Structure 1
Amino acid sequence: MERPDILFDESYCDQCACGEGLDFQFSFAFQPIVDSTDESVFAYEALVRGLQGEGAWSVLSQVTERNRYSFDQICRVKAVKLASKLGMDTMLSINFMPNAVYKAEYCIRTTLAAAKNYNFDTRKLIFELTEGEDLSSTDHLVSIIKAYQGMGFSTAIDDFGAGFSRYNLMTASPPDLLKLDMGLIRDIDREPNKQAVVNGIITMMSELGGRIVAEGVETVEEYAWLKGRGIRLFQGYLFARPGFETLPRPYFPDVG
């Protein structure tokens, strides 16, 4: 897929890779999103970590309104660079901050430059929105998702069902992937109310043409129930914990 050369800014990409614009540094852990149909890795999600593997909060607590744009841009570059270094040949899911994206077509330029510099196929990029992020305008988010999809990227909404469910977004611009919040997943095999909600979401995404990722899966019973409802994509400790600067190999339990 061809994209305008004007979007590439390799010098700025190199600056981002060095962490210019921030007074703190960070790295990533990667957790697989698995496909249960053939027991393969569909994607790895890049999860921000401190330089010694400290949790995400140690980094995110330093993000302010003033440095949010730089942090968002640097995250993308560093994730692509590390994924390429590790030889990742699956999809790569990168979390993004909608409030840091003033115009999708321009804010994507450093990501494209990083992919070009580090020889990473842009068709393997997923941009993942954390659903609970405070947004002043749903229209702004819709415009980002439509722009990313128009450029050939996949999009995902994380933590769906966590209390900020944006059904207006689902009608205006459905994402390619919808990640169920772990609060819905926990003990779903024995909680009828959760089962009813998830069954409804499964029907909705099927009719919208998107796919569901069940994240936060920790027990074989949860996995068996969700798989039995036709969900194929999973993420959680049952399969693999995040690996700091590594690509963990997943475990697949036998559920018949």
Structure 2
Amino acid sequence: MWSGTVFAQEALVRGVNGEGAGFILDQVSDQNRYAFDQSCRVKAIELAAQWDSTHEGERLSINFLPNAVYEPRACIRLTLATAMRFSFPLNRIIFEFTETEKLDTNHLLNILRSYRAMGFMTAIDDFGSGYAGLSLLSNFQPDLVKIDMELIRNIDKDRTKRIILANTLRMLHDLDVKVICEGVETAEEFEVLRDMGVSLIQGYYLGKPSLRQPLSSNWPQPAAAPLQTKGFG
């Protein structure tokens, strides 16, 4: 049921002059991937810790790079220390990954299972557009699945998309996985999703991202900067 309240905010990256995530990620290499991933996590938690009482209970969603995690429990130490330093509860942190990059499935499953065991929530982003899809879902059921925006775009005009989404929603409900539909940009898309029983929605129709403080790391310029957005309703 639609409540109209914010479920979570997603930490994104932008350049110091507003450049998109693609511009920043193009500067990430095998040599700096781990440090970049760690810095983004720390800055996201630091900014979320500044939320006032109006954000009480909201989750923080952080995208992570699976290939930057060489061993989950070793790589999570700085995240745990940062959450403790800012008194940010672990059960309000969601780690999400995008399945557009071909990955070692066993390595990814190890990360997700380890994060869950530590008390974090987990999510698959852009579900339906990447490599893993149903195969990954059959081995691990995350707390959340974010439906790729291509399926949502113009869903009010496309019966085929509505049929696909309706069956996907039913499957995920049976697996006890919460669903977020992302990329909602029009009132018509929103109304269709609400009528279909979708309660978590992300997109420009609800609100656009707002730029926050830049990272204070020695990144190739311009540096990455987390961006907080009221993404889910």
Scaled to the shorter chain, the TM-score interval is 0.7 to 0.9
Q: Provide TM-score, normalisation by structure 1.
A: 0.79
Checking the alignment, whether the CA contact within 8 Å between 2:10 and 2:229 is kept in structure 1 is no
Which position in structure 1 is the counterpart of 2:150?
183
Which position in structure 1 is the counterpart of 2:221?
none
Shift of 1:60: 1.1
State the structure with bigger RCO (CA 8 A, min sep 6), 1 or 2.
2
Which position in structure 2 is the counterpart of 1:54?
19
Distance in 2 separating the partners of 1:101 and 1:224? 39
SS of 2:207 mapped into structure 1: coil
Which letter maps to 1:145? L
Per-residue CA distance 1:180-203 (angstroms, 9 max, x = gap)? 111000011121211121112101
Per-residue CA distance 1:132-155 (angstroms, 9 max, x = gap)? 1221x2111111111111111111
Larger mean CA deviation between 84-93 and 212-221 belongs to: 84-93
> For 1:25-64, what aligned pairs fall within 5 Å after superposition?
37-64=2-29
> For 1:178-217, what aligned pairs fall within 5 Å after superposition?
178-217=145-184
Distance in 1 separating the partners of 2:232 and 2:120? 28
Which position in structure 2 is the counterpart of 1:85?
50
Per-residue CA distance 1:74-128 (angstroms, 9 max, x = gap)? 1101111111134453100000011111111111111011111122122110001
Which letter maps to 1:181? D
Checking the alignment, whether the CA contact within 8 Å between 1:238 and 1:251 is kept in structure 2 is no
> For 1:1-256, what aligned pairs fall within 5 Å after superposition?
37-87=2-52, 88-89=55-56, 90-135=58-103, 137-245=104-212
Distance in 2 separating the partners of 1:250 and 1:126? 13
Shift of 1:248: 5.8
Per-residue CA distance 1:40-68 (angstroms, 9 max, x = gap)? 11000001011233221231111001111
Which letter maps to 1:131? E
Distance in 1 separating the partners of 2:68 and 2:145? 21
1:96–1:250 distance in 2 versus 1, CA, 3 Å: closer
Shift of 1:163: 4.3
Kindly report structure 1 stretches of 4+ aligned residues shifted beyond 4 Å.
Answer: 246-252
SS of 1:37 mapped into structure 2: coil
Unpaired runs of 5+ residues, structure 2, are: 213-226
SS of 1:188 mapped into structure 2: coil
1:179–1:248 distance in 2 versus 1, CA, 3 Å: closer
Distance in 2 separating the partners of 1:139 and 1:125? 23
Counting matched residue pairs gives 216
RMSD of aligned alpha carbons: 1.9
Distance in 2 separating the partners of 1:202 and 1:172? 18
Which letter maps to 1:54? E
Checking the alignment, whether the CA contact within 8 Å between 1:86 and 1:247 is kept in structure 2 is no
Distance in 1 separating the partners of 2:26 and 2:203? 24
Distance in 2 separating the partners of 1:112 and 1:222? 38
Distance in 1 separating the partners of 2:107 and 2:205? 36
SS of 2:49 mapped into structure 1: helix
